[in-house]
Amino acid sequence: MRQLEMVISAENKKTVKDRTSKRLIRVNYLLSEDGREAELYSVVSKGMLQSIQVEAEHDEIAYLEECKYDKDCYNIGFYCIKEFMNSMGEFEVTGIPTEYYDYDEECRCCTGNLVIKFFSKPMTFEELLSWERNRQTRLKQDEGNILQDYCLKKFEWNKEMIIWTKEYGSNSLKNLSNTTSQADILYIYERAQRELPDFEIIPREWFEYKVLNTGAINIPNIDVIEAEIQEYRKQGYDASIKNLINDEEDKPISVIFIENYLGKNTLMKRIDELI
């Protein structure tokens, strides 16, 4: 019994020592006179890269775990994606999240912007640690708010889907659980076919690189089309005319877009099919 007490006491002392022990680490950050922020990625010069060697407490190092780049090396405000530098002394970095603004159902996580932070003055370790703590606190707050909002919207979505499916849904849809992604997909398809049968559902990432920022084209009777658009808007649809690059015909075409259909979907119909 006495030996057991001695072992427990030694382990407790070791735990306390580990929590209070310091370790030498290197902290990197980017210095720029204007203190700017760049999105996604950037090429920076070697002179912008600042390093601090510091003996940090165990709790401080734990806070920097998300910033860990290599053993005992931490990047604050950016993430390095290229270890080499070119002949100009430049290297590439990418950003880290500083705020969340949406929830991705596919990956089941919050998404936000990626920002590369350039500090406007030489920073101490304490200042960098404070900046990182604020970033993580802000992300946790954003995550909580977004998840709460998502759960409320999902509840309303499921309630509306159940009501619609009961009255209009196919047997296939009725036999699916209303909490599955397959049910969501089939519900969107069946409802779009019933309400807007001439439109097709397209993925948002598809049209983002195909949309042209030009005026309406290839429309022989624009007044008729604009009247159609107004009718869709009166029904509550977010309808507009947009121009796309048609890969098959290798020419731009005009289409009617209905965005945010059932909250998050995009429908499209070629205008020449209306004429």
Extract the tokens encoding 119.
């500090």
Quote the percentage of the chain above a pLDDT of 70: 78
In sign, the C-alpha dihedral spanning 103, 104, 105, 109 is: negative
| 149/138 Cα distance (integer angstroms) | 17
- Is a pLDDT exceeding 60 seen at residue 166? yes
Report pLDDT for 275. Answer: 46
Q: Which has more pLDDT, 254 or 81? A: 254
Between CA 196 and CA 238 the distance in angstroms is 13
- Provide the 8-state DSSP code for 69: E
Whole-number pLDDT of residue 86:
72
Domain ranges of the chain: 2-147, 199-275
Confidence of residue 70 (pLDDT cuts 50, 70, 90): confident
pLDDT for the residue numbered 4 = 47
3-state SS assignment for residue 96: strand
- pLDDT value at residue 32: 85
Both tokens of 12, joined, read 């407790």
Half-sphere exposure for 159 (CA within 13 Å, toward CB)? 6
Task: Decide the pairing of beta strands 109-119 and 200-202.
Answer: unpaired
Taking the CA atoms of 52, 55, 56 and 58 in sequence, report the sign of the dihedral they define. Answer: positive
Predicted pLDDT at 182: 85
- In this prediction, residue 253 carries a pLDDT of 77
d(CA 95, CA 80): 8
pLDDT value of position 89 = 75
Q: Residue 158: exposed, middle, or buried by beta-carbon count in 10 A (0-12, 13-18, 19+)?
A: middle
Q: Which ranges constitute the DSSP H helices of the chain?
A: 2-20, 58-63, 125-168, 171-174, 181-195, 204-208, 222-234
**pLDDT value, residue 263:** 82
0.85 cut: is pTM over it?
no
Better-predicted residue by pLDDT, 251 or 167: 167
Q: pLDDT tens-digit profile of 123-138?
A: 999 999 999 999 999 9
